[in-house]
């Protein structure tokens, strides 16, 4: 199931599928982990007429199976699916 941002909660297991543009095609990568945190965060970039004069990005923080913490910047090409179990 493709998860909507309001459906993500800490402890939930998800799979992130990212499509990265490369020339005329896309590279596809995926990874799984448990949600630690999800929300919008400011970037260091300035963007006129945006909230607090900063560009805001959806960020998902995951804890991988080996304990590594991964921060994912989500865009229109990224899909987040819930994983059972």
Contact partners, residue 5, CB within 8 Å, separation at least 6 = 38, 58
Determine what percent of the chain is predicted with pLDDT higher than 70: 81
Burial 65-78 (b: 16+ CB within 10 A, else e): eeeeeeebebeeee
Q: What was the pLDDT predicted at 55?
A: 76
**Global pTM exceeds 0.95:** no
| pLDDT at residue 37 tops 80 | yes
Q: What was the pLDDT predicted at 53?
A: 66
pLDDT band of 10, cuts 50, 70, 90: very high
Q: What secondary structure does DSSP assign to 4-37, as a single string?
A: PGGG--TT-EEEEEEEEEETTEEEEEEEEEEEEE
Q: Domain spans of the chain?
A: 5-82
The CATH number corresponding to 5-82 among 2.30.30, 2.60.120, 3.30.70, 2.60.40 equals 2.30.30
């Amino acid at each position: 199931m493709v998860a909507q941002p309001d459906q993500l909660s800490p402890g939930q297991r998800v799979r992130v599928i990212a499509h990265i543009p490369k020339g005329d095609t896309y590279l596809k990568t995926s990874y799984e982990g448990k949600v630690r945190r999800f929300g919008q965060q400011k970037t260091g970039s300035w963007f006129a007429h945006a909230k607090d004069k900063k560009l805001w990005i959806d960020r998902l923080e995951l804890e991988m199976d080996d304990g590594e913490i991964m921060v994912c910047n989500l865009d229109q090409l990224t899909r987040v699916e819930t994983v059972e179990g």
